[in-house]
Structure 1
Amino acid sequence: MGIYKDIESNVRGYCRSFPVTFKTAKNALLTDDQGTEYIDFLGGAGTLNYGHNNPKFKEALIEYIESDGITHGLDMHTEAKGAFLETFRDLILEPRDMNYKVQFTGPTGTNAVEAALKIVRMNTGRSTVVSFTNGFHGVTQGAAAVTANGYYKKSIGMELPGVQFMPFDGYLGDFNTLSYFEKALKDKSSGLGHPAAVIVECIQGEGGLNVASKEWMQGLQDLCKRYEMLLIVDDIQAGCGRSGTFFSFEEFGIQPDVITLSKSLSGYGLPFALVLLKEELDTWSPGEHNGTFRGNNHAFVTARRALECYWADDTFSKSVQHKASIIRRRLKEIQAEHGGQLKHKGRGIMQGLECANGEVAGKITELAFTRGLIIETSGSDSQVVKILTPLTIEEDQLLKGLKILEACIGDVMAEQISKAS
């Protein structure tokens, strides 16, 4: 372990919560170099929706590599890219009546957000983008600007212009925050002006599993249309099935102007990101937003296989919804056990429990790790214990993980009560 402390930057984060050396992984089970097994409720922070080392994807990737398929091709045409595009069109876009162009950006979600911010500003000729309280969109300069959490902004070292924040759904209790947003748009002295676009997550992952309602999202799209603002949905963490449908906004019946995808898009944990934009917005000049690694051919192979294996019909979506209902039921039961001390958050397999503060949530996740469960926190104070397990987790393993979590919560809450008395 000394090599990491000696030579790796202080910026390392997750390894501080899980201080072991991991060696192997299969679906939702991780094994360290001492042979200790851990149930994975982190899932690569939402990058491993289809589990670790999915055998269906591994087989396709090995076959591609052994055939000397193109590894790196900039944005040139390759068989792997063409096959992915055809499959994405046939299984994702056309069945949902979505007419979008596909832009391959640099391989990270934050680069997809950077591209999205540039294209909405180019198309409108306006600079301001509206983001929301507790939103998280990445840590590069533009993406950090539309991220609400000050922790991620401070390292930029300068003021980040071009962004105004509005309250997310539920931020002000039962008050409809879109009413405030519209009042600010109408009032020429509000300081808001005429924004180019709005960027939003339907489920705020890092922000604490805050969920936008159908009515609020439909109202937001309507507001954008009436005030000629473009709507960006950041589906980097909540997309690729985590909500129970491929896109987190499907049940809302909306069609954003721009959509960002990454994390589980490759299916295998390989870096891969893209932007979906309505055809009339595709005003880029060739190479205007480029990058040496835009379009990862190995990821094209595994992403295509993921679509073929899991999205040719609704079987997988229904299984995700079934597991999500199990998680919801168990979390609600745990919440009831502890009265008003915990609050259920999230939807799909992106749920958790909000604790009184980050200290309590941190103790729960620390104890869980000692008992063989890898789980992290989110929220402005890291106060939400957050489940992001692979969607493919076996049901018995899911139940076992939830049982460990329940016991850890019980022990920590009992300790809190003992201290208070």
Structure 2
Amino acid sequence: MNNDLKVFDELESEVRSYCRSFPTIFTKAKGYKMWDVDNKEYLDFFSGAGALNYGHNDPNMKEKLIEYITHDGITHSLDMASTAKADFLNKLNDVILKPRDLEYKVMFPGPTGTNTVESALKLARKVTKRTEVVSFTNGFHGMTIGALSVTGNSFKRKGAGIPLHNAITMPYDNYIDENLDTLDYFERYLEDGGSGVEIPAAVILETVQGEGGLNTARFEWLKKLESICNRFDIFLIIDDVQAGVGRTGTFFSFEPAGIKPDVVCLSKSIGGYGLPFAITLIKPEHDIWAPGEHNGTFRGNNMAFVTATEALRYWEDPSFEEGIKKRADKITTFLDGLIEKYPEMNGYRKGRGIMQGISSDIEGFSEKVAELAFEQGLIMETAGADDEVFKLFPPINIEMEALEQGFKKIEAAVEAVAKEKELVTS
């Protein structure tokens, strides 16, 4: 097959986006590498937008999956009981929940991130018998109507084609400036009967806003938010679809803050292998669903159960999490050095763990960096309302040497764009 994108231009919808950012035809992937039909090799610092935290085609997961398929294991089962589901539930409870002193019921809402968010919003309204949901500036929670109503991006919201109701937007941590505690503003709204804001059913947020520009909530801010939610009997929903499963350094992004959300939304890398899979974790006292009240044809993806169970085995060894933190420190050091070396990009570091990047005040700078990096064989995307952040999302278990290779490609791209911008302004 030649590297001709004509078939996609002619037959695929105009809504496609990533194939425009990465204009080649990919044919193979392994670990942190991808290859196109011309056999050009790319370092993957994108990881399926966080769906491939363990890299492509992990050998352990692949072996388990092939074994399951060749032995005619159940593929599709709605929410019927299966051995694959039982294995996953036990492994999640034993390896992840119990060691963290977390008690949750596990709901399988459907295979995508927006499915888990929709189920969380529905349950919060059902339990509290209230309708409004508070979300935060620059948050992103999915593309279906309910999830879109609590998403901040105006471009995505307009795609709904209808008014989006029953949602209130509040300022995220440091949205205005670091000296203003935005939760004081939120709490005052709840206290004041004249504010026009009803006590909501829930608050939903990402502790690190992936698509919104790697905005990061401080741990003390998260603790205070939990306290406010407890005071007013509001559901606290953490959307860990992208920031979870080790991406910020711990399995759950909220762990360092010491909070215990009412509901946790997980998708993307919870499946381990890139197979469609999502779960909603619910505090037991809130699990008041009637049987079948929320369902979906593909909520029983048994092949994803198999790979997800195998993925959780990594977390049995404490050195795995320690390795993530070492890689995160290496990324932090690199980005800080880049900012110091190239002051002309007016950049500052954002995010935490292995979801960090640089935000540039120069219009188009980050987009151009990502474009040139791709030409040099590195896949990386941008984030933020104006694509002002280029972000590093390599696998959380990437080899240190591969990280260094990626750093060189990114720096070469930054240097080239910095020189180009300097010529334009001089």
- Give the TM-score normalised by the residue count of structure 2: 0.98
Asked whether the 8 Å contact 1:233–1:256 carries over to 2, the reply is yes
Instruction: Please list every run of 5 or more consecutive structure 2 residues that lacks an aligned counterpart in the other structure.
Output: none
The one-letter code of the counterpart of 1:146 is V
Cα distance in structure 2, aligned partners of 1:202 and 1:314: 23
| Number of the residue aligned with 1:356 | 361
Cα distance in structure 2, aligned partners of 1:244 and 1:252: 13
Q: CA deviation at 1:415?
A: 1.1
Cα distance in structure 1, aligned partners of 2:296 and 2:188: 40
Asked whether the 8 Å contact 1:61–1:301 carries over to 2, the reply is yes
Structure 2 residue aligned with 1:25, among 22, 29, 33? 29
Structure 1 residue aligned with 2:336, among 319, 332, 338? 332
1:386 maps onto 2:391 in alignment: yes
Structure 2 residue aligned with 1:228, among 225, 233, 248? 233
Structure 1 range deviating more: 218-227 or 409-418: 409-418
Q: Can you list the C-alpha shifts for 1:51-93, whole angstroms capped at 9, x where unaligned?
A: 0000000000000001100010000000000000000010011
Q: What RMSD over aligned residues (CA atoms) do the two structures have, in Å?
A: 0.8
Cα distance in structure 1, aligned partners of 2:341 and 2:171: 31
Structure 2 residue aligned with 1:95, among 84, 89, 99? 99
Matches within 5 A, 1:187-266: 187-266=192-271
Query: Secondary structure at 2:281's aligned position in 1?
Result: strand
Structure 1 range deviating more: 332-341 or 120-129: 332-341
Asked whether the 8 Å contact 1:358–1:382 carries over to 2, the reply is no
Alignment length, in residue pairs? 420
Q: CA deviation at 1:157?
A: 1.0
Q: CA deviation at 1:338?
A: 2.2
Structure 2 residue aligned with 1:15, among 14, 19, 27? 19
Query: Secondary structure at 2:9's aligned position in 1?
Result: helix
Asked whether the 8 Å contact 1:358–1:384 carries over to 2, the reply is no
1:410 maps onto 2:415 in alignment: yes
Q: CA deviation at 1:358?
A: 5.0
Structure 1 range deviating more: 190-199 or 259-268: 190-199
| Number of the residue aligned with 1:311 | 315
The one-letter code of the counterpart of 2:272 is G
Moved over 4 A (4+): none
Q: Can you list the C-alpha shifts for 1:175-211, whole angstroms capped at 9, x where unaligned?
A: 1100100111111221211111100100000000011
Q: CA deviation at 1:357?
A: 4.5
Matches within 5 A, 1:274-313: 274-308=279-313, 310-313=314-317
| Number of the residue aligned with 1:344 | 349
Asked whether the 8 Å contact 1:357–1:382 carries over to 2, the reply is no
Matches within 5 A, 1:105-144: 105-144=109-148
Instruction: Please list every run of 5 or more consecutive structure 1 residues that lacks an aligned counterpart in the other structure.
Output: none
Q: CA deviation at 1:295?
A: 2.1
The one-letter code of the counterpart of 1:187 is D
Cα distance in structure 1, aligned partners of 2:404 and 2:195: 50
Q: Percent identity?
A: 52
| Number of the residue aligned with 2:38 | 34
Structure 2 residue aligned with 1:151, among 142, 155, 169? 155
Query: Secondary structure at 1:332's aligned position in 2?
Result: helix
Q: Can you list the C-alpha shifts for 1:201-233, whole angstroms capped at 9, x where unaligned?
A: 000000000111110000000010011111000
Asked whether the 8 Å contact 1:27–1:54 carries over to 2, the reply is yes
Cα distance in structure 2, aligned partners of 1:412 and 1:356: 13
1:62 maps onto 2:66 in alignment: yes
The one-letter code of the counterpart of 1:285 is A
Cα distance in structure 2, aligned partners of 1:354 and 1:68: 49
Q: CA deviation at 1:313?
A: 2.5
Q: Can you list the C-alpha shifts for 1:256-308, whole angstroms capped at 9, x where unaligned?
A: 00000000011000000010000111111111110100021000000000001
Cα distance in structure 1, aligned partners of 2:400 and 2:377: 17
Cα distance in structure 2, aligned partners of 1:35 and 1:159: 47
Cα distance in structure 2, aligned partners of 1:172 and 1:215: 17
Query: Secondary structure at 1:208's aligned position in 2?
Result: coil
Query: Secondary structure at 1:365's aligned position in 2?
Result: helix
Structure 1 residue aligned with 2:165, among 148, 161, 164? 161
